[in-house]
Amino acid sequence: MLTMWQAWGGLLTTLHMQGHQKPLYLWGPVGLRSFVEGQLQGTLAALRYRLYIRELLLPPERGVLLWETPRFLIQAFPLRHGVPAVGYVFREKERPRRLNRARLEELGLPEALLPELRTQGEVLYQGQLYRWADLTLPPPPPRAFAYCSDTLYDPELRHFVRGVTVLYHEATFLSEHAERARQTFHATAHEAALLAREAGVQRLLIGHFSTRYRNVSPLLEEARATFPETYLVEEGKIYPIGE
């Protein structure tokens, strides 16, 4: 997310020109602040919104909690690249149970009882005790999305991305160019798929392909041989994450 630093100056000024006014928070490796501020100063750009930049010092063995709300949290973790690079995981917290309206109508319970039922967990109606758990449906499993940009294959990343709904992982090279991948601190399609399999993720998205490959289908084929639920990332396409 923040390894392609040269793009940030243009992105920030584009948001300014589009009328963005809400505060914007950037997290990334040490050096991000001076780089972004240098770009803005070099172009004499004055933003109409407040910009907050936070530089991360990430111990190799653990990640850092960046943001948390009652509904989700965001964590950062270190990647292995030639320059400081950061991975991210966005985790949804467990959602509340959903009212089973068909069951409510079947029992003939009036809507007026719902506030008490929600707050108290149960309600007595016409001599019968009704419980919230019996009138609701379990929520879908919490969703999670992990993003691993430029990085060598690192089996330790499985601790940070374990069980996510969707994992994006770079897959710059085919295995036949594995030595080049190591020299440039990148991963092969097979290695991206291997991490997805080891971490028990549901779906893998791969991208950041070397320009040497005019046809990227072999990268997809190589990854799917190890992890069948692999898909190519296409610019401008929207990828759903669970329900």
Residue type, 4: M
Tens-place pLDDT, residues 132-153: 888 999 998 999 999 999 999 9
Interatomic CA distance for residues 37 and 53, integer angstroms: 10
Q: Is the pLDDT of residue 176 over 90?
A: yes
Spell out the domain ranges in the chain. Answer: 1-57, 59-95+140-243, 98-137
Residue 115 above 70 pLDDT? yes
| pTM of this structure | 0.80
Average pLDDT over the chain reads 89
Cα distances (angstroms) measured from residue 198 to each of 36, 55, 103, 154? 36, 30, 41, 11
User: What pLDDT is attached to residue 233?
Assistant: 95
Judged against a pLDDT cut of 70, whether residue 154 lies above it is answered with: yes
Degrees, nearest 5: CA angle 237-239-242:
165
Task: Give the least confident one: 10-24, 57-71, 103-117, 189-203.
Answer: 57-71
Residue 74 has pLDDT above 80, yes or no: yes
> What percent of the chain lies above the pLDDT cut of 90?
53
The Cα–Cα gap between 199 and 196 comes to 5
Least confident of 80-84, 142-146, 162-166, 174-178: 80-84
Give the per-residue pLDDT at 59. Answer: 64
- Give, in order, the Cα–Cα distances in Å from 170 to each of 188, 196, 203: 8, 12, 14
Highest mean pLDDT of the ranges 61-70, 71-80, 217-226? 217-226
Average pLDDT over residues 12-38: 86
Three-class SS string for the chain? CCCCHHHHHHHHHHHHHCCCCCCEEEEEECCHHHHHHHHHHHCCCCCCCCEEEEEECCCCCCCEEEEECCCEEEEEEECCCCCCCEEEEEEECCCCCEECHHHHHHHCCCHHHHHHHHHHCEEEECCEEEEHHHHEECCCCCCEEEEECCCCCCHHHHHHHCCCCEEEEECCECHHHHHHHHHCCCCEHHHHHHHHHHHCCCEEEEECCCCCCCCCHHHHHHHHHHCCCEEECCCCCCCCCCC
Question: Looking at 98-107, 141-150, 151-160, which range is the least confident one?
Answer: 98-107
CA atoms of 228 and 231, how far apart (whole Å): 9
Q: Given a cut of 80, is residue 9 above it in pLDDT?
A: no
Q: What's the confidence (pLDDT) of residue 1?
A: 36
pLDDT digits (tens, 9 = 90+) for 40-69: 876 666 788 999 998 877 665 678 888 999
The mean-pLDDT minimum among 23-32, 129-138, 155-164 falls in 23-32
**What mean pLDDT do residues 157-176 have?**
97
- Among 3.40.50.300, 3.60.15.10, 2.60.40.420, 3.40.50.150, name the CATH number for the domain at 59-95+140-243: 3.60.15.10
- 145 strand-pairing partners: 90, 166
Q: Quick one: which of 41, 144, 49 has its CA closest to 95?
A: 144
Q: Can you give the pLDDT at residue 8? A: 64
Residue whose C-alpha is closest to residue 193's, from 213, 214, 172, 169: 169
CB 188 within 8 A of CB 153: yes
More confident residue, 59 or 215: 215
